[in-house]
Amino acid sequence: MLIEIIDIGSPVAVKKYFTIEVAYRADGKTQGKKLMSFLFPETYIILSKAKRGDVFEVTSVKNDAGYWDWTEVTKSENHTGASIELAPVAGRDFKKEATTVKSNYETAEERAARQVMIVRQSSISNAIATLSVGAKTLKSEDVIATAKEYEAYVLGGTPRQLAEAAVAAIESDILE
């Protein structure tokens, strides 16, 4: 099949591969094709460097899912078909539409903050469990103090370090 390139979209990163949108004209019809870098990489590389108006001979094969894969492309230097005046496709700018997919994973700071919240929640639960043995009522101050001791231990501190930090945080009670 002989195709004439109308536009090539910018590469879009998707996980571990890239995709490009190819707008082309073949047999008088304007069509589009999405190419992925892991399927027929040679085809992807050749077409990602194509320019508007370039003409290619495309070999297509129907895959098991029923889609047509472009298995091979070769640039046609001396095609006999008349060149078609290429106009924008329905006012679309493929280059502006192509975007890079951003990661949805947490940053290191977000992971660290979440881990601290998990440790604090667990420390409070364990402080309640520890203090509720044999007690009729629990004071929230006692639960929080015990939870802070557990949290400090889990996060690598000691109760002494926690106490020193608490004392350092107290404003001076000496009048000046």
- pLDDT digit string (tens) for 83-97? 444 445 555 555 555
pLDDT, position 81: 53
pLDDT, position 121: 95
pLDDT, position 92: 56
Residue 97 three-state SS: helix
CA distance 120 to 152: 9
Report H helices in 40-135: 41-48, 94-97, 108-131
Which of the residue ranges 31-35, 115-119, 126-130, 165-169 would you say has the lowest mean pLDDT? 165-169
β-pairing, 68-75 vs 55-62, is antiparallel
- pLDDT digit string (tens) for 5-46? 998 888 888 888 889 999 999 888 898 999 888 888 888 888
Give residue limits of the domains in the chain: 2-97, 108-169
pLDDT at 62 over 60: yes
* Percentage of the residues of the chain whose pLDDT score is greater than 90: 16
Question: 60 is written with which tokens?
Answer: 């297509």
